[in-house]
Amino acid sequence: MAYIPNTPADQAEMLEAIGLNSIDDLFAPIPQHLQLKSELNIPSSLDQISLTRHYIELAKKNAGAEDYTCFLGAGVYDHYVPPTVGAILSRGEFLTSYTPYQPEVSQGVLQSIYEFQTLIAELFAMDLANASMYDCASGLAEAAAMASYITERREILAADTINPAHLDVLRTYLNHGPYELHLLPSQDGRIQSETLKDALSSTTAAVLIQHPNFYGGIEDMFSLSDLAHANGSLFVASVDPLSLGLLSPPGDYDADIAVGEGQALGCPMGFGGPMLGLFTCKSQYIRRLPGRIVGATTDIDGKKAYVMTLRTREQDIRRETATSNICTNVALYALAAAVHLATLGKTGVEQVASLSFQKAHYMASQIDSLPGYRLTFPEMPFFKEFLIDCSSSPEQINQRLLKDKILGGYVAEGNRMLIAVTEQRSRKQIDDFVKILSEF
Amino acid sequence: MRQEPEALLFELSKPGRRGVEFPCCDVPESNPFDSIDPKLLRHSTTLPELAEPAVIRHFTRLSQRNYSIDSGFYPLGSCTMKYNPRLHEDAARLSGFARLHPYAPTQLAQGALQVIYEMQYILSEIAGMDACTLQPAAGAHGELLGLMLIKAFHQNRGNGHTKTTILVPEAAHGTNPASAARCGYKTVSVQSDARGRVDVAHLRTVLDESCAGLMLTNPNTLGLFEYSINEISELVHETGGLMYCDGANMNALVGRARPGDMGFDVMHFNLHKTFSSPHGGGGPGSGPVAVKKALEPFLPVPMVIKLADDSFAFDSNRPFSIGKIHSYYGSFMAFLRAYLFILYYGKENLAQIAENAVLNANYVRVALQPYIDSAYDEICMHECVMSAKRQKRHNGIRAIDIAKRLMDYGYHPPTVYFPLIAPEALMIEPTETESKETLDEFISAMRSIMLEAAEQPELLRNAPTVTPVRRLDEKNASKDVRWICGPNCETV
């Protein structure tokens, strides 16, 4: 086998050195009746050429964004990934290393995480960021648990305009702890201050708002944050990191914890995984932070160095009293985000946000002027995504779009379609989409 | 490794530089101030500004300050640092996988759904279980899900209020008790016996009707097979509890034995360990969970099914499901790689993984025993735990000193001080992808270090000396967790 160097001669020599006669002897500690006597019922071995043919065939059955123009969003976006990201991520030194438990030989990964934390904290205008979570949804759930611990309250108020996939995960997590989850109902696509005011109580630990929300809408974050704080609750924001090239960052509206889905920062859509959970908070809560965090220090010679820090929060030391059971960070994708943000830089991030905003608004106005279509929430300010009402079935429209190699929007209840427009979409691609809509 | 320190991105930044040129806006523009409250608009960001060459050079230099499997032997016990085939990386770059949106219409995601469908089946078969979900994003995420399934099982039988504890052996990974706590369970520790296994007599004393389940790693964290596994399973099952297998050590068993046959009801895999999706500096991981029939109704939505016309589809109509634990379907790009890895070996060769992993571990153990004690003097599975108690007694040399000295010899150290029940533990896991020559060189380095420990212990105490940095002041790192931009440009 190409990945197993031991030859039969090697095996014989090694067995002799151990003092055993056969490979089977190595498995003697496993009781005989628990050892497999025959092959597993799985596929037969494929040589590397056949395997390559197989994966190419599988990939061809999928509508990748290289062949299809993508207007799908709903949490995962087809933003531009600069070539620097692929070049750095394919370096074996990053790809094939592990958690930097030994800092002396892991300065590369450690510094990249430290820089990732800094870049995310700057982008969010928050005091600090951790080394990342599995995805935005689990970050949101960890934020809820953290807020409950800090406030010693149990109720979590979550906007019903949060991505439904994230709400599903939040519900699953909170079902398994001492929490009560209540949804804040939106009106005209957004959370109204009055609604929040009425819903807050002395048991409310945290208010969770997504911004821009699932429908692309811009929430009144300053007022919502003020209301939460006046009630002694924490304010938790879930944001699209690339929106922060245009929109006020969570630190500006005094969010206590801010999370986000980092996929748009140079990570592949990859059929939805892995994702990159961004997690930031105020510095006063650092000891309740879930996940890894890297800090700067010096070595015994006074040389600058980086190391995982505040380790006593973590499961391998604290066991059942740890702040979370998480034992991973999506380090490779955190590196992707760091390379992505470094390459785009200040100007690039602002341009991506601005171009996405402009193109989405152009497309929305084109569709809104077509007969049979209208913006579902015409008064709602939005960023790069918007919801439309269709007089025909959105599924049928999407099927028609596929014929022109266009991936249409996310189909929502009530003949609605959620359309995402990134900086990658050209005017022609938008016009082609709109033209097909006009056929219905 | 590269010795020169590398400046931070923010230190390399200069106003006006850029790494990407975006096209001009090709649509009529609207003014954001017309629709958005100015308070909600940002004036500018404080991100660094670099040209592309500087970005590549910065991160390339960082990579040169890092050890990896590609650069050398990485015997980090419990982490299964095996070689990551490059064929997988070629596949992962294809647009049909990398640029596939999770909500792409299922008729245009059949290749991806086939990977998920086949992996649900293949992993169930390797585990000796009946069903499998790929959703968990890491091993600890899989543990959390597994415990949620156990809880749902008991609640469904009306026992939710009485089944309140999870038993965890004292040598278990820290994630086990942390996951149990996160799932709302009280944990009870089970002691180990003189041979490093679960002390069955102690288990009997702590086992009662409150037991929702027992979490066990097998082989355990000492690299030893829990030969009383049948008895343990029976005892737990008698109280109505379920058996959870932490699959971190599946590299010892794959193709040779199955947790499902040992009485386990639920287990998680670590695809980044056993099935070689890259560790990536600490993630992404992937922690699929396989279960017996009785737990299948509770698995998260959606599952992938095969329809009568042989096409694949999502099935979310599962009334007893605990819900979702991942936004989408899990770490697809990781299980794509694991799928290719398994297909390469196939049913004919899969057992060679465990066979050579166990062979390599025992070869190292036996060769090292004259110089450093084995924590338990018997055949180990895929990893061996050595104990520096002899060196510590002799002149105070500790496991950490040996680990640091190994760096001077060009190695990544083994896992140290875990599990805690072995004093001065060095846990060595060579994996099946290392050659006899590599192992011989490592053994020779260890032998030299043990001689140094006896004759020149300062070499160990001062190690490492040839690495990019030396031993660190870890206490001072706790507040300095980011760079602060602005006029003062300093760390805080």
Residue A148, Cβ neighbours under 10 Å: how many?
Answer: 22
The whole-angstrom separation of Cα B139 and Cα B279 is 12
Copy the structure tokens of residue B330: 């899990």
Which residue of A4, A261, A335 to mutate against B (max B Cβ within 10 Å)?
A4
CA distances from B17 to A43, B50, B53, B483 (A): 53, 5, 11, 20
Q: Quick check: A328 and B35 CB within 8 A?
A: no
Q: Say whether both A253 and A368 belong to one domain.
A: no
Q: Are residues B410 and B436 in the same domain?
A: yes
As given in the structure block, the two tokens for residue B273 are: 């360990």
- Cα B166 from chain centroid (whole Å): 22
Q: Which range of residues forms the domain containing residue B251? A: 100-349
Query: What pLDDT does B423 receive?
Result: 94
Both tokens of residue B280? 């990536």
Greatest CA separation for chain B? 79
Among A195-199, A286-290, B232-236, B239-243, the range scoring the smallest mean pLDDT is: A286-290
Is residue B460 within a helix (H) or strand (E), and if so which, with residue range?
Answer: helix B457-461
Across B472-492, average pLDDT: 66
Element at A124 (helix H, strand E): helix A107-124
How many angstroms separate the CA atoms of A133 and A295, rounded? Answer: 17
ipTM score of complex: 0.97
The nearest CA of chain B is from the CA of A248 a distance in Å of: 4
DSSP A268-336: --GGG-S--EEEEE-GGGGGG--S--EEEEEBTTS-EEEEE--GGGSHHHHGGGSS-------HHHHHH
B353 vs A58: CB contact, 8 Å cut-off?
no
Shortest distance, CA A95 to any CA of chain B (angstroms): 4
**C-alpha dihedral sign at B289, B292, B293, B294:** negative
A258 touches chain B (CB under 8 A): no
Give the end of a domain, one of A338, A355, A378: A338
Q: Which residues of chain B have a CB within 8 Å of the CB of A177?
A: 182-184
Residue type at position A168: D
Same domain membership, residue A388 and residue A329 = no
pLDDT at A87: 98
The model's confidence at residue B229, banded by pLDDT at 50, 70 and 90, is very high
Of B6, B349, B474, the CB nearest to A45: B349
Task: Report if residue B368 sits inside a domain.
Answer: yes
Domain boundary residue, one of A338, A370, A387? A338
What ranges make up the beta strands (E) of B170-265? 186-190, 211-217, 242-247
Inform me whether the pLDDT recorded for B487 exceeds 80: no
pLDDT at B485 over 70: no
Asked if A147 and A228 sit in the same domain, the reply is yes
Q: Kindly report the CATH number assigned to the domain that includes residue B371.
A: 3.90.1150.10
What pLDDT is attached to residue B174? 87
Q: Which residues of B touch A92 (CB under 8 A)?
A: 68-71
Tell me which of B415, B482, B492 to substitute to probe the interface with A (most A C-beta atoms closer than 10 Å).
B482
Amino acid at B269: F
Strands (E), B218-367: 242-247, 266-269, 289-291, 303-306, 312-315
Q: Does some domain include residue A5?
A: no
Based on the fold, state whether residues A199 and A119 are members of the same structural domain.
yes
The residue range of the domain holding A132 is: 83-338
Sign of CA dihedral B296, A140, B97, A90: negative
Same domain, A76 and A94: no
Is the residue at A42 inside a domain? no
Q: Assess A354–B contact: CB distance below 8 Å, yes or no.
A: yes
* Ranges of residues in chain A whose predicted pLDDT is under 50: none
Nearest to B344 among A51, A91, A145 (CB): A51
Q: pLDDT tens-digit profile of B174-189?
A: 899 999 998 999 999 9
B4 within domain boundaries: no
| Beta-carbon pairs below 8 A across chains A and B | 694
Report the distance separating Cα B294 and Cα B273, nearest Å.
Answer: 27
pLDDT band at B221 (very low <50, low <70, confident <90, very high): very high
As given in the structure block, the two tokens for residue B30 are: 């609207």
Beta bridge partners of A236: A208, A257
pLDDT for res B488:
42
First to last CA, chain A: 57
Smallest Cβ–Cβ distance between A14 and the set B112, B173, B436 belongs to: B436
Asked if residues B366 and B360 have their Cβ atoms less than 8 Å apart, the reply is no
Give domain status of residue B466, yes or no.
no
Choose the closest CB to B148 out of A76, A87, A176. A176
B427 and B365 in a single domain? The answer is yes
Q: Is the pLDDT of residue B483 over 90?
A: no
Token pair in block for residue B310: 């042989």
Tokens 């025959």 locate to: A38
Chain B CB within 8 Å of residue A392 CB: no
- The CA angle B438-B441-B443, to the nearest 5 degrees, is 110
Provide the pLDDT for residue A329. Answer: 87
Q: What is the pLDDT of residues B402-458, one digit of tens each?
A: 999 999 999 999 999 998 889 999 999 999 999 999 999 999 999 999 999 999 999
- Identify the band that residue B491 occupies on the pLDDT scale cut at 50, 70 and 90: very low
Q: Please name the residue ranges forming H helices in B389-435.
A: 389-395, 399-408
- Whether A119 and A245 share a structural domain: yes
SS3 at position A209:
strand
Asked if A238 and A192 sit in the same domain, the reply is yes
Domain-located, residue A318? yes
Residue B34 lies in a domain: yes
